[in-house]
Amino acid sequence: MERIDRDKLPKHIAIIMDGNGRWATKNSMNRVLGHRKGAEAVRAVVKTCRKLGIKYLTLYAFSVENWLRPKEEVRALTALLKNYLEEELNEMMDNNIRLMAIGDIDALAGGVKTTLCEAIEKTSGNQGMCLNLALSYGGRDEIVDGVKKIARDIRSGTIKEDTITKDMFSQYLYFPEMPDPDLLIRTSGEYRLSNFLIWQLAYTELYFTDVLWPDFSREHLLEAIADYQRRERRFGMTSEQLSKD
Ligand code: IPE
Ligand code: IPE
Ligand code: MG
């Protein structure tokens, strides 16, 4: 098993959980069963991150583009989400996990939206780890929404144009207090971001694996973290500069 350095843990891990459909096809099943199996992988990963002491875990559960999928699949994903939230709420409370969501939450069906908002509210005081679900999320939409909010604040006189900076812009995104991800994992052998956190991933370490999401286990996660820990994050500087600190 991979050895993890507890002093060099990523503070924020973001995951593009991809490959449920292909997992189902490979196992001669309906796509929905792939998503169901994917939800089990979510449980294991949340548990492992919490145990390790990861502070933020953001999971890409449904993109704004995923609305284009067949209606039955969207319906099944919504039902699975509701089920997951209902079943995991006690677990989140017991483990001091705060639930958050980023994306166009209002676009979600009424029932699941209520369950989600209740779980967010109920867990809002928990500080062990933040489990952040990207739901009906699009990175470009998030940026455009931020620009609109800034325009509104300029118009009302709350802020002036020349006070806009990168840090200030981040405060206009969906979850301002969330630090940028240190590590991004994408499963299923796809090498793209699919409109995920495109502002926040500017300096994130990227990790791609061929493993399909339903097969992604605790060991795979530890392997990804170990790989991250072997990297040198230079942020534009030279190796020599970094070793001086
Ligand atoms: C990821 O698995 C889950 C969601 C996007 C909701 P996919 O459903 O995209 O699986 P593939 O890519 O078809 O295998
Ligand atoms: C990205 O996966 C979205 C989620 C994992 C929720 P997709 O399977 O939708 O991505 P594309 O369409 O193949 O890029
Ligand atoms: Mg996919």
Domains assigned to the chain? 12-138+180-244 (3.40.1180.10)
Residue 1 has pLDDT above 90, yes or no: no
Instruction: Characterize the bridge pairing of strands 56-63 and 183-186.
Output: unpaired
Confidence of residue 2 (pLDDT cuts 50, 70, 90): low
| Spatial separation of the C-alpha atoms in residues 197 and 217, rounded to whole Å | 24
Q: What are phi and psi of 58, to 5 degrees?
A: -110, 125
The answer to whether the Cα torsion of 17, 18, 22, 26 is positive or negative is negative
| Spatial separation of the C-alpha atoms in residues 54 and 180, rounded to whole Å | 13
* Protein residue with least CA distance to atom 1, ligand 2: 194
Kindly report, residue by residue over 226-237, the tens digit of the pLDDT.
999 999 999 999
Kindly report, residue by residue over 28-53, the tens digit of the pLDDT.
999 999 999 999 999 999 999 999 99
- List Cα–Cα distances, 166 to 26, 57, 173, in angstroms: 44, 23, 11
Mean pLDDT, to the nearest integer, of 56-70?
Answer: 98
The pLDDT value recorded for residue 237 is 95
The pLDDT value recorded for residue 139 is 98
Given the residues 7, 20, 30, 66, the one annotated as active site: 66
Kindly report, residue by residue over 171-187, the tens digit of the pLDDT.
999 999 999 999 999 99
Angle between helix 71-94 and helix 110-122 axes, rounded to 10 deg: 20
Kindly report, residue by residue over 71-110, the tens digit of the pLDDT.
999 999 999 999 999 999 999 999 999 999 999 999 999 9
12 and 129 in contact (C-beta within 8 Å)? Answer: no
Kindly report, residue by residue over 117-136, the tens digit of the pLDDT.
999 999 999 999 999 999 99
> Token match 């001086």: residue?
244
Half-sphere exposure of 156 (CA within 13 A, CB side): 6
Mean pLDDT, to the nearest integer, of 158-162?
Answer: 96
* Protein residue with least CA distance to atom 13, ligand 1: 21
Half-sphere exposure of 28 (CA within 13 A, CB side): 0
Amino acid at site 127: Q
Distance 15 CA to ligand 3 centre (A): 13
- pLDDT above 90 covers what percent of the chain? 98
105: left (phi over 0), alpha (psi -120 to 50) or beta: alpha
| Spatial separation of the C-alpha atoms in residues 53 and 96, rounded to whole Å | 11
The pLDDT value recorded for residue 3 is 87
Mean pLDDT, to the nearest integer, of 184-197?
Answer: 98
Mean pLDDT, to the nearest integer, of 182-201?
Answer: 98
Asked about 18 being catalytic, the answer comes back as yes
Q: Which ligand is nearest to the CA of 23?
A: 1
Kindly report, residue by residue over 10-29, the tens digit of the pLDDT.
999 999 999 999 999 999 99
- The three-state secondary structure class of 208 is strand
